[in-house]
Each structure stands twice: as structure tokens, then as C-alpha cells.
Chains A and B, each alone.
Chain A
């Protein structure tokens, strides 16, 4: 008799359903945003350091890698903002039916995409 019982599989087999994916994305964007905010603040600080550093500021701003990170940062920011509002409502017990959870989830995606497009292409 083998009493060393195995643990049934969990993360690897559980379906990636929308509410759970939104929850983990909220955490990831939160962590990512706090790291990136340091970079963004340093970038803005370059302007305050005077004309000697303006060239560096310009070079960083035109760097493709920096631009990509900046775009991802804005998308993450909008996602975290809108999903955060969704979570605030849930704290009051509002909008927690399964149907409403899905609808508000799609609304968050829509608002995130729309806001990001607005910021970058207008």
C-alpha cells in the first residue's frame, strides 16, 4: 500500500477561463507598471537636468526599444485602470453575476484598446 498520495494536477490542467486570466493579468500589469514607472520618471528627469542632457533625452525618446516599452506601458496602464474600476465595483458586490463578469471583461478590453489607440494615433 502506497500511502505517499500524489497531488492532483492544478495549474497545468485548469482551463484558462476569462475571469482568471483577467485576474492574473491585473497582477502582472501592476508589477510591470511599478517597475516601468521608475524608468519613465528617470526619462522625464532628463529634461530637468538642463540642455546638456537634452541630447540624451532625445536619443532615448527616439530609441525603438524605448518606444515599444512605452507603448506596452500605456496599454498596461489603461488595462490596470479599467480593470481596477471593475474590481472596485466588485468590492461593493455589484456586477458579480457570471454574465456581467464576462460583459465587463469585454468592456475592459474594448476600453483599453480604444484608449491606447487614442493616445498614440491622434
Chain B
């Protein structure tokens, strides 16, 4: 029996390998537009879990039997990640370096052909001149290389003293409109330390972990048993919708697992269970990205969840579990 099942699993894996790349190209993730979409904007509750799962023909035979190979239960786990939404924090050295390089670039830039880009006497030209004078003034004030460009800075000072006379009301309005408001890199969720929010730690990759209603090994990645005639991706998608609800827009990265973790069941558990031949479980982790939506807690399968970075995960899961999964996770 087990050899038959093993070939079945292998065949499923081969099929998924062959079709994975073909489907993935179409399923281009709209990753860069993520920032524009709100995670909290809930999809209709009745809508099924949105993802790129494509069913195999074998899945037509619906079976609720668990897949057991070599007295190990095959389990599919989901590593659902939220990618960084903003650029990483710079070190003080990097900041200094970039400022220095910016000044160098300014000094070495080819002359700007203002007469080409702006019609003479136009509002745009005046505005540009004003901006340029401000920039020059700021650069000569801030940079230490200003001394080398003495002639330039003195000419800019002259320009700066002239410009205010020309500034009209129109310019002032435009300048106000053009002023860009930057959002804070630290969000409310960060301040409240709300680990359930997807809008926390914007510069880091976050991973979804869920809490099962039990005392030991409560926190882990969402996972569940693979059924007979089901591939890993289908099993992961099904388990995610069972545990975390259907209000998530996911994209599965390929149909092959990115890692695996094997553990043995406690002896009492094996003795009391209905299938005493099953000694342990083998968890295969599938990678997915979340684009919208959020986990819904049903208080049956899971009681809590958290979006955490790799380093924060250490505080939630057991050391053995962390040891097993840490290499799959991103340090950034």
C-alpha cells in the first residue's frame, strides 16, 4: 500500500514540477503594487480563498483519508510571508555615504540645459530657478565640499537674493501643492506592538504563525495533514482556509516545498490514537505571499495568530522548531 502511495506522491510532485513554471509565469504577483493596497480592506467573507492553486486531475477523487507513508503522516505547512513594503533602515554610515555621493554627483553632473527644458520667461522656468537656488543654498550650507565650489556658491547666493522678488502668488501655491508629505516609517501598529497587524515592521519580511488551542507546541506555522489524492499545494491551500479563513489573497511560490521538518508523536499520543501505526509526522513547508486580507480566528482550530519577523519568532515557537525552520526564513 505504502509503495503505491509513494509512487502517487512522486507522480504528483513530478506533475506539479512540470506545470509549476508554466502557470507561475501567468500568475505574476502584483508585488510592487502591494503598498497601494490595504491589507485591512476585507474581501467579501463568502469569497473563497484567492490564490493560484491549480488542482490536479487526481484531486477529482475526493478522499478524506490521511496520507501516511512509512508510518509517517505527511503534513503540509504554509510559510505565508508579507514582503517588505518600504526600504530598509539605513545605518548612520550609509546615510553619510549617500549624502557624500549625492554632493559628488551634483558637482560632476553635466550642465543642465535649462533653455531647452524651459521656455524663457515661463512660470516653470522661474520655479525651477527658485528650486535650484534653494538647493544650492542648502548644499553650500551643509556640505563641507562647498569651499571647492566657491564661485558656484557665490553665484547661487546672488541668484537666491534675486529670486524672492520674482516669486508670485501662483508660485507659492504651486510650491505648497508640490510639497510631498512623507508617511512615518513607524506605524501605529509598531507603537502599540500589535503583532496581529500586517502594517507593522514595514521594512521587514513578516511570517504568519498561528496558536493552536493546546499547552505545548502551541505556536507554529499553519499546517495540516495531506489527504490521499491531494498535492502539497492543494493541501496547504485547504488547511489555510480551514485554519485562517478565506479572507486572504495569496500567491503560492511554486509547487515544491521549500523545506521539511520531521518529528515523532509522543508515546501516549500514539497509544491513545486510532491509528497506532503512525509514529510521527513529516511536515513539508510551502511558500506563499500575502497581498491582501487578513487571518480570521475561529477559536476552534486556532486561537491566536501573529505576523512576526524571523528574529521575533524565536520568542513564540520552541527552540527545536525554530532550529528546523530558521533556514527557510529571510533575515531581512
B and A form one assembly = no
Enumerate chain A interface residues (CB-CB to B < 8 A). Answer: none
